[in-house]
Amino acid sequence: MKKLLNLPTATGIDRVAVASACIGCLSLFLPGIACSSTSVDICKEPAAESHLTIAYYNQEASSFEGTPGETNLENLDTDVRFRLNDEWSFGAGHRYAILNVDQIALQTNGYLHTFFFPVHRLSQSDERGFRFSIAPALSASSNVASDPDEYSSESLQLLAALIWNRHLSERLDLHLGVCGDHRLGEYQVYPVINFRWQIHPDWMIDFGFPRSQLTHQLSRNLATSLSISPNGNEWHVKDKSLNSHSQLVYEAYLLEWLFSWRAHEKLVLAASLGREFNREYDMTLLDESRVRLSSASATRFGIAITWSY
């Protein structure tokens, strides 16, 4: 794999991330690219390389169930990561969601931001290790995020993960731990379990919760994957006058196919096609009424570019 992808010599951390002789691991082949858009995924193992990633996602309009109106989401993601050494890395990220709603007057303007600043600490031996990740975050509508005087405990978040891993064999790793974040909507602390199995030199399975993924290395520079994971978030929002405020909670699951091309040693381009389902909005309307609305499943497409350094 090191010769095939022009990667540096593997460390103990890389061994757990890829398993021995792994060819298909997406975290190395696609540094920083993942099915995301709405949620901040602090549970996922950070990529092995320092990188900058920019991604755009557009979701088709879907109707609300039981009430008039429809909605769609556009997302712009930015992630930057700096790997200091085999133990420490840090970075910054931004999730920008544009919530468009017809026939319903929301309290918020629909421009939703999540800024976050992850720090990762990894410790690894030949057979086992652990990772501690923490990410202070600000998640709010644009009229809150643009004015520090409007920040409060309702707009600030603290995302964290503590993951243990064990190398079970040359082809199988086990990851166990706990995460706390908003990918299930409201903040929750939940268990993490993942089996990473190199079933074939070109095939990798990550099976568990909250994320499962099948990855296939098609050729020297092409890879594809199919994944499923929750994709929610929560924002502190205010009306135009800044007098009324509430929490907007989004819950959804995302099934997504991703295709990637390493166009250059340091440049990766990707396209994705996904389907969001079990979509729920818990939000306040302009008249101060609180509603919980379901919307139909929706297809989305995405493009992403990653530069490693």
3-state secondary structure of 54: strand
pLDDT digits (tens, 9 = 90+) for 112-169: 999 999 999 999 887 899 999 999 999 999 999 999 999 999 999 999 999 999 999 9
pLDDT digits (tens, 9 = 90+) for 229-270: 999 999 999 999 999 999 999 999 999 999 999 999 999 999
The residue length of the chain stands at 309
> CA 211, CA 23: separation in Å to the nearest integer?
20
Whole-number pLDDT of residue 35: 55
Q: Specify the pLDDT at position 124.
A: 83
Tell me what percent of the residues of the chain surpass a pLDDT of 70: 88
Q: What are phi and psi of 70, to 5 degrees?
A: -145, 165
Q: Output the six-digit token pair for 73.
A: 């989401």
Q: Are the C-beta atoms of residues 232 and 182 closer than 8 Å to each other?
A: yes
Mean pLDDT computed over 162-189: 95
- State both tokens at 82: 């700096």
Reply yes or no on whether the pLDDT at 204 is more than 60.
yes
Q: Which residues contact 183 (CB under 8 A, 6 or more apart)?
A: 39, 40, 41, 43, 210, 229, 230, 231, 232, 233
**CB-based contacts of 64: which residues, under 8 Å, 6+ apart?**
70, 71, 104, 293, 294, 295
What does the angle CA 16 – CA 46 – CA 164 come to, to the nearest 5 degrees? 50
pLDDT value of position 58 = 96
The tokens 């421009």 sit on which residue? 111
| pLDDT value of position 34 | 54
Backbone angles phi, psi at 170, to 5 degrees: -65, -20
CATH of the domain spanning 2-308: 2.40.160.40
Structure-block tokens of residue 19: 């398993």
Of 14-23, 80-89, 189-198, the poorest mean pLDDT is in 14-23
Rounded Cα distance between 301 and 278, Å, is: 18
Q: How confident is the model at residue 48 (pLDDT cuts 50, 70, 90)?
A: confident
pLDDT: which is higher, 134 or 4: 134
Contact 112, 128 (CB under 8 A): no
Least-confidence region, from 14-23, 39-48, 277-286: 14-23
Q: CB atoms < 10 A from the CB of 293, how many?
A: 17
Ramachandran quadrant class, 146 (left: phi over 0; alpha: psi -120 to 50; beta: rest): alpha
The pLDDT of residue 248 is: 97
State pTM to two decimals: 0.87
The type of residue at 70 is: E
Kind plus residue range of the DSSP H or E element containing 198: strand 188-200
pLDDT above 90 covers what percent of the chain?
79
Domain limits, the chain? 2-308
Residue range 21-39: mean pLDDT, rounded: 52
Q: Residue range 11-33: average pLDDT?
A: 40
Q: What is the mean pLDDT of the chain?
A: 88
pLDDT band at 19 (very low <50, low <70, confident <90, very high): very low
Q: Taking 80 as the threshold, does the pLDDT of residue 32 lie above it? A: no
Which position has the higher pLDDT, 165 or 9? 165
Confidence of residue 45 (pLDDT cuts 50, 70, 90): confident
Q: Answer for the pair 194, 178: CB distance below 8 angstroms, yes or no.
A: no
**Inter-residue contact 229 to 251 (CB < 8 Å):** no
pLDDT attached to residue 143: 94
Instruction: Give the number of other Cβ atoms within 10 Å of residue 85's Cβ.
Output: 9
pLDDT average, residue stretch 86-100: 95
